[in-house]
Amino acid sequence: HLLYAASTEQCSATHINSLRERAVAMLGKDCAGWGAYDCYRLSTIYWPGDPTTALRFATASCRGGDPNGCDRLGIGAMLGGSY
């Protein structure tokens, strides 16, 4: 689903950071089973601002069975390890 902002304030850095914080609070942090998909999503939220945390969630997602997490690790390797 695509959602469009109702006003330009919803595109501000402050509002976007608030949305990220809410998403992180709602997504599970147990990367086993279905949680692997949440951990992949968390890796995309943290990257590129916090690559260490993003890498931790991508790794856990991959180990938990989500191929997207493995893909994200591969992209990081292609970028010369800069994740």
Residue 47, classed as helix, strand or coil, is: coil
Please tell me whether the overall predicted TM-score, pTM, comes out greater than 0.85 for this model.
Answer: no
- pLDDT one-digit tens code per residue, 6-59: 777 877 888 878 887 888 887 778 898 889 999 999 998 888 888 888 899 999
Residues whose CB falls within 8 Å of the CB of residue 11, separated by 6 or more in sequence, listed in order: 5
